[in-house]
Structure 1
């Protein structure tokens, strides 16, 4: 049976590029952003949109590894792998990360499409977390940081620039 998997896939897709009830999708928030906007920080010590996207991708890669059967794969919290500081402006790097998000979305969708509902109750590796909990956590994580990115985008537009 695949009723629950289909439900999660619908949620996953809606958050990424659908029309979720809460507001703009992840793709909508990122659409049209240039490197200047993506790298901007409202103050020192804050995360930029590119840093938030890097962090989202880090944990999505983690999820792909677990879905692919690499149950020992881990990421150290708050490590440079988890949170990378981006300095300077690189339009190429920014566009590459947006493309990586698109590819990652397709990969997770492909991997979940190959699963049955019973898979959701299986242990997803270290920590005694089921795949259901890991999937829900990844969705929640994306939403949390999506809100931050939407706020950063709005703040950038409201902040005066020096000529």
Structure 2
């Protein structure tokens, strides 16, 4: 199987999620530093940290579905639970972190089975390919991690 580039993408995804990315703390490292009591605080013109994490999860699920070939026309841009309502009794911080981590692991396991040829294929109904989507997902997670880091500082964490 020719998957050298896919393996590089997987390493980068793991670095962003767990290890030592160039920009600073990895996603899980930063998120574990946040006290669960503040994740529901929703400053004006912003999402709460827990909303952002579930948004990241939604895009990771979408990406896995795309790689798995199970997306349908209209799914892109209309992601189920993209910005879901949060019920603190159901959507706890620990549950969010666990789901984020499990979703990442499932996506990586799926990518491990794919050849580099997938990367240049276009997604259904889009003008971009899977390489762009996977790199974009990493950028998306870093972007939202920056928002969460800002919220953490804003809330005195």
With the length of structure 1 as denominator, give the TM-score of the two structures. 0.85
Provide the rounded CA distance (Å) in 2 between the counterparts of 1:18 and 1:104. Answer: 17
Secondary structure of the equivalent of 1:6? helix
Secondary structure of the equivalent of 1:84? coil
Structure 2 residue aligned with 1:129: 128
Matched, 1:149 2:145: no
Structure 2 residue aligned with 1:93: 92
Structure 2 residue aligned with 1:53: 53
Provide the rounded CA distance (Å) in 1 between the counterparts of 2:86 and 2:7. Answer: 36
Structure 1 residue aligned with 2:111: 112
Structure 2 residue aligned with 1:161: none
Deviation at 1:140? 1.0
After superposition, what is the alpha-carbon deviation per residue over 1:111-132, rounded to whole angstroms, capped at 9, x for unaligned?
1111111110112222132111
Matched, 1:28 2:29: yes
Deviation at 1:44? 2.9
Going from structure 1 to structure 2, the CA distance change for 1:112 and 1:3 (only over 3 Å counts) comes to same
Deviation at 1:71? 3.4
Deviation at 1:48? 0.8
Provide the rounded CA distance (Å) in 2 between the counterparts of 1:8 and 1:70. Answer: 21
Going from structure 1 to structure 2, the CA distance change for 1:52 and 1:112 (only over 3 Å counts) comes to same
Q: Which sits farther off after the overlay, 51-60 or 32-41?
A: 32-41
Deviation at 1:90? 4.1
Runs of 4+ displaced beyond 3 Å: 89-92
Superposition RMSD on alpha carbons, in Å? 2.1
Q: Gaps spanning 5+ residues in structure 1: where?
A: 159-163
Q: Which has the larger radius of gyration?
A: 1
